[in-house]
Amino acid sequence: MRQTELIERVKAYDPNADEALLNKAYVYAMNAHGKQFRASGDPYFTHPLEVAAILTELKLDVPTIATALLHDTVEDTYVTIEDVKKNFGEEIAGLVDGVTKLSQLELFSESTKQAENFRKLMLAMSNDIRVLLVKLADRLHNMRTLSYIEKPDKRRRIAQETLDIYAPLAGRIGMQNMREELEDLAFAELDPEARNSILTRLNRLETSTGNRVGRIADEIKRKLAEHGIDAWVYGRAKRAYSIWRKLKDKQLNFEQLSDILGFRVIVKTPEDCYRALGVLHQSWRMIPDRFKDFISNPKTNGYRSIHTTVIGPEQQRVEVQIRTAEMHEVAERGVAAHWRYRERLEGETMDSALRWLRDMVELLERGDSVEEFLEHSRLNMYQDQVFCFTPKGDLISLPRGATPIDFAYMVHTDLGNQTVGAKVNGVHVPLHTPLRNGDQVEIIRQKGSTPSPLWEQIAVTGRARSEIRRFIKHAQHDEHVRFGRKILEKEFADAGQELTEKAMQAVAKKLRHSRPEDVYADVGRGALRSHDVLVSVFPELKKSKGRSAPKPGGAISIEGLTEGISYHLGQCCHPLPGDRIVGVRKPGEVVVIHTIDCEELEKADMEDWIDVSWGTSADELGPTLARVSVRVKNVPGALGAVMTVIGANGGNIFNVKVTNRNPLFFEFHVDIEVRDVAHLQNILGALRVNAVVESVDRVRGPGVAEGDSVT
């Protein structure tokens, strides 16, 4: 194929084609590929040129042909997408970019077994159908030259991928010819023996029956003419791959396969189609269940035809497809034909952009069933989905707007529950980042980590949301049980009694609970008073309510200190119940409690260290102060958003101090009253997933001076 030949081909169906543009794309691509060569030994440029030639057979517009010429320049040469934009404008650059992205996607397909999802991904990413058409033509030419590739396993992989992904894609957009050729080429590579055996048998059959196909076609034509119907009739044996598939699917042998012969009857009008059908059914016996009317009920991809199978003139079952010339072109060229007819009807010129969506709408207007509506809008429907890869290459399908949280729960509930971070395409991103098509997502998990209640707001899938809700409900229940048990233990201990399992079972029975655990949970969430539980076990204690004095030094919830010794919590490190702690006693001073990692400990003499731990009543100590450092984006409302998150998670803000402010972000310390470390962790987790928050850390340092606060 030469430059002039390509231009002539385009001119043949589009006399107003922009010749200069085609010439420019030709020269540009040829220079870019320079001295690159194909596996066949041909100059590389022969490939884009052949791809362009394939697309001229589909009579595609100039931007598509130019895109075909340029389609490998960005992927394989020094040319950038900006270069293409500068030289050929937005439209062509957009198309070339689309094809390049699909090519990059191919790198993943090797490891994915989910062909259906992969096809959807290709459709979702081809927001212009022309991108897909170029990609299919690219694959077709690569399949035609497959034999030049030396490595057998590489050939097989490409052939399998063609069979799994590209051939069905071609079929889905109605391009039956391309589908069949792709299948046949792949079949030849994957199972040459099966293919040869079918071809041999077809040959033998044809020889043994003389030119049976021709005779039957003539007979059909004659019968139709008798009834005044002018028709073009031709027949052919089915393709080897489709015969082979039928043999496999139906568990038949070759001799049992009846509909090896297929005939097409092309007439002028839809009315003629029905008349021709009547003639065929009158002349030969039809086979019930084989009749399909895709004219009154077009196929999902726009295909229209009448199919019927009759016992033909030579007592052989023959399948006949009846259609008009227009229906025929659509059947052969699929979506590519739709807009051409439309434009011819409206007198539009060929250089107006292809709007596949408009074609879909047109198909829709013609159709009448809901099912069809769904099928037709399918291309469009995938625009509402994103398809992302796991690090292993599995494809996960998600609704648009889905975040790494949704992704994690889609992979596995446990993974979702233990998520602490995410990498997209190798880069750390906040958990609220919306995912895009083709993203590779790696979830960072940590054993023992738990979901934040805030995730429910950033997840978009029902699955993630319900799992988060379920987890939190369980976690709350566990928390209530733990807490309720502690309260009861103290209540019983204060009364000089022991909290025994047996006693609790009795209480549970009395309250119609099945387990003591439920009693603890009731107490823990405040639905049942601990004293009432005590009294129900020891009724004589009823009067003594209120008599039991708090423990000596009631406020002391630190174990390891001699009774009566006073202490306070370090202002340097703000220990929280749950932290590992050490007491420091200096002569003449109160004991100061520090966290184990507090710098102040290093300054103190080890001699002065006292081994302490939180007492059981620490939970009832009341709120304790924790300090966190938050860095937020410098956007309106950021500070308020942070305060809302803290409040919503039960934290009481005690003080706020801005420590750093610049045009990009500002940082501040917040002192929050929390119950314990777990409560603090919960707040930190909720802050981390907020959109405005860049970082959150717990701070240990000197206390916030009074009057330092900012409101």
Q: Which stretch binds Mn ion (CB under 5 A): 71-79, 304-312, 390-398, 597-605?
A: 71-79
Q: Is 518 in the site for Mn ion (CB under 5 A)?
A: no
**Residue of closest CB approach to Mn ion:** 138
The window from 65-73, 301-309, 324-332, 350-358 that contacts Mn ion (CB under 5 A) reads 65-73
Q: Is 91 a catalytic residue?
A: no
* Binding region for Mn ion (CB under 5 A) out of 64-72, 307-315, 383-391, 460-468: 64-72
For residues 461 and 406, what is the distance between their CA atoms, to the nearest angstrom? 6
Structure tokens at 313: 């003139």
Residues 122-181 that bind Mn ion (CB under 5 A): 138
Helix axes 62-70, 46-57, angle to 10 degrees: 160
Return the SS3 of 544.
Answer: coil
| Catalytic residue (one of 18, 42, 57, 76) | 76
Residue closest to 614 by CA, chosen among 560, 680, 674: 560
Q: Which is nearer to Mn ion, 138 or 183 (CB)?
A: 138
Nearer to Mn ion, 75 or 589 (CB): 75
- Minimum CB distance to Mn ion smaller for 96 or for 576: 96
Least distance to Mn ion from the beta carbon of 48, Å? Answer: 7
Which of 44/483 has CB closer to Mn ion?
44
Binding segment (CB under 5 A) for Mn ion, from list 33-41, 70-78, 326-334, 455-463: 70-78
Shortest spacing between CB 108 and Mn ion, in angstroms: 17
Q: Does 72 bind Mn ion (CB under 5 A)?
A: yes
CA dist 690 and 207 (Å) reads 75
User: Would residue 75 show up in a list of annotated catalytic residues for this protein?
Assistant: yes
Cα separation, 68 vs 54, in Å, equals 9
- Residue among 337, 327, 334, 270 at smallest CA distance from 304: 327
Residues in the chain: 711
Active-site residue identified among 5, 8, 19, 75: 75
Q: Say how many C-beta atoms besides its own lie within 10 A of residue 259's C-beta.
A: 15
Cα separation, 298 vs 326, whole angstroms: 14
Residue type, 317: R
Asked if 671 touches Mn ion (CB under 5 A), the answer is no
The residue whose two tokens read 């009315």 is 271
Span from 67-75, 126-134, 206-214, 283-291 in contact with Mn ion (CB under 5 A): 67-75
Q: How far is the CB of 99 from Mn ion (least distance, A)?
A: 8
Q: Which is nearer to Mn ion, 146 or 645 (CB)?
A: 146
State which residue, 138 or 467, has the beta carbon closest to Mn ion.
138
What is the β-pairing status of strands 317-324 and 261-267? Answer: parallel
Q: How many chain residues bind Mn ion (CB under 5 A)?
A: 2
DSSP assignment of 40-89: TSSBTTHHHHHHHHHHHHTT--HHHHHHHHHTTHHHHSS--HHHHHHHHH
Q: Which is nearer to Mn ion, 72 or 619 (CB)?
A: 72
Q: What is the DSSP letter of 286?
A: B
Looking up tokens 């959150």 gives 696
Q: Measured from the CB of residue 75, what is the shortest distance to Mn ion in angstroms?
A: 8
For 315-351, the three-class secondary structure string (H helix, E strand, C coil) is CCEEEEEEEEHHHHHHHHHCHHHHHHHHHHHHCCCCC
- 676 within 8 A of 615, measured Cβ to Cβ: no
Per-residue contact flags (x/-) with Mn ion for residues 80 to 119, judged by CB under 5 A: ----------------------------------------
State the catalytic residues: 75-76
Q: Contact residues for Mn ion (CB under 5 A)? A: 72, 138
